[in-house]
């Protein structure tokens, strides 16, 4: 996960436009009203009306409070300004050997994933390494609290309100318990940092153990990431360099061209590694 700016925030305003075009119903208690508890009570009512079970609502939202540190981070984000040379030079060399080792460790899994989704293992391992150091640094923020805070805040309220609903759906489906849902400050979860809406849409149970676990289960993590890229039009057997259709898919993963170019570069280095 890049520390300088949330991956979600790079796409936030484009996403906001598409979400707002759906014209969701206004909450009875407005965002930023000065009464978080009243807003949360109204949200619980709305969640139940949308078919989320009372058990999931209670488990997920009991005791949730506003997290001012999340708001501070959201307001203090710096524009991603590093050059490709600076960013890739900092991020790729320290991860290349570990990435190559992951390619070997999960070789058979990555082969089956490529057969299923068409996405090469090098690309998946590159994303894995850049996002969380191969699952080492997934974040320590309580996901539901972060999302509730950002949904209450008026900057992108409807966007994060929808993500909070999907976080409760993850709980309802049994993928994760609320206490296990810890990640980045803006609500990204798991070893490749999925927003809850992407988790609901693209997470897969690749090892067949009955759960979609993108926090602890590497086959699920890698296959779900491949499913995400395939969902955005990844072309099997084609290049991923800048200018290619598959590079455009990488830009759906991260709107920053520097970040997308670094994924492509890292993947190419992994493909050449012995």
- Could you read off the pLDDT of 94-120 as tens digits, one per residue? 999 999 999 999 999 999 999 999 999
> What is the rounded distance in angstroms from the CA atom of residue 98 to the CA atom of residue 266?
12
- Active-site residue (options: 131, 158, 163, 188): 131
> Has residue 166 got a pLDDT over 90?
yes
Closest CA to 199 of 53, 44, 102, 217: 217
Count of Cβ atoms closer than 10 Å to residue 42 Cβ: 16
Q: What is the pLDDT of residue 274?
A: 78
pLDDT digits (tens, 9 = 90+) for 174-197: 999 999 999 999 999 999 999 999
State yes or no: is 131 an active-site residue: yes
* Residue 213 DSSP SS3: coil
> Has residue 9 got a pLDDT over 60?
no
> Has residue 20 got a pLDDT over 60?
no
Q: What is the CA radius of gyration of the chain?
A: 19
Mean pLDDT over 192-209 rounds to 97
Strands (E) in the chain, as ranges, are 141-142, 182-183
Helix 257-272 × helix 121-132 angle, to 10°? 120
Strands (E) in 76-194, as ranges, are 141-142, 182-183
CA distances in angstroms from 13 to 158, 159, 242, listed in the order given? 12, 9, 24
> What is the rounded distance in angstroms from the CA atom of residue 74 to the CA atom of residue 76?
6
Mean pLDDT over 209-217 rounds to 93
Q: What is the pLDDT of residue 16?
A: 40
């Amino acid at each position: 996960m890049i520390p300088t700016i949330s991956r979600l925030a790079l796409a936030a305003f484009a996403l906001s436009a598409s979400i707002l075009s759906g014209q969701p119903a206004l909450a009875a208690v407005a965002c930023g009203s000065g009464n978080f508890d009243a807003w949360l009570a109204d949200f619980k009512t709305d969640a139940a009306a949308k078919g989320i079970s009372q058990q999931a609502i209670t488990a997920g939202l009991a005791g949730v409070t506003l997290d001012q540190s999340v708001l501070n981070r959201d307001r203090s984000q710096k524009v991603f300004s590093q050059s490709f040379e600076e960013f890739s030079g900092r991020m790729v060399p320290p991860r290349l050997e570990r990435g190559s080792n992951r390619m070997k460790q999960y070789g058979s899994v990555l082969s089956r994933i490529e057969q299923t989704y068409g996405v090469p293992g090098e690309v998946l391992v590159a994303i894995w390494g850049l996002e969380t150091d191969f699952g080492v640094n997934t974040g320590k923020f309580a996901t539901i609290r972060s999302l509730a805070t950002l949904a209450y805040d008026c900057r992108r309220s409807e966007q994060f309100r929808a993500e909070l609903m999907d976080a409760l759906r993850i709980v309802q489906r049994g993928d994760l318990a609320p206490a296990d849902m810890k990640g980045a400050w803006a609500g990204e979860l798991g070893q490749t940092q999925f927003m809850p809406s992407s988790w609901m849409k693209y997470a897969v149970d690749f090892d067949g153990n009955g759960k979609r676990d993108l926090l602890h289960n590497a086959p699920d993590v890698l296959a779900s990431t491949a499913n995400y890229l395939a969902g955005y039009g990844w072309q099997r057997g084609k290049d991923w360099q800048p200018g290619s259709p598959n590079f455009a898919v990488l830009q759906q993963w991260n709107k920053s061209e520097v970040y997308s170019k670094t994924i492509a570069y890292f993947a190419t280095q992994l493909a050449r590694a012995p």
